[in-house]
Amino acid sequence: MACLRRAGPYRAAEDIACVGWILTAIQERVEERNLPDWFQLKQVVDEAITLLPLSKTSVH
């Protein structure tokens, strides 16, 4: 849930970092490995992450 909360301000600012935070939230949930077809979901999320543009590293 923390990742989804972090996405909010980025979404409001129309910043692509929002997508990164949402994917991180999904990734954390998939890593619990208790969803049906979790491995296929992991592959989709991993591929989506590679499509995001790189940005400067930030400290939270």
Q: Mean pLDDT per segment of 10 residues, for the chain of length 60 residues?
A: 82 85 91 94 92 69
Q: What is the CA radius of gyration of the chain?
A: 12
d(CA 7, CA 38): 23
pLDDT at res. 31: 93
| DSSP E strands, the chain | none
Question: pTM above 0.85?
Answer: no
d(CA 30, CA 24): 10
pLDDT at res. 28: 92
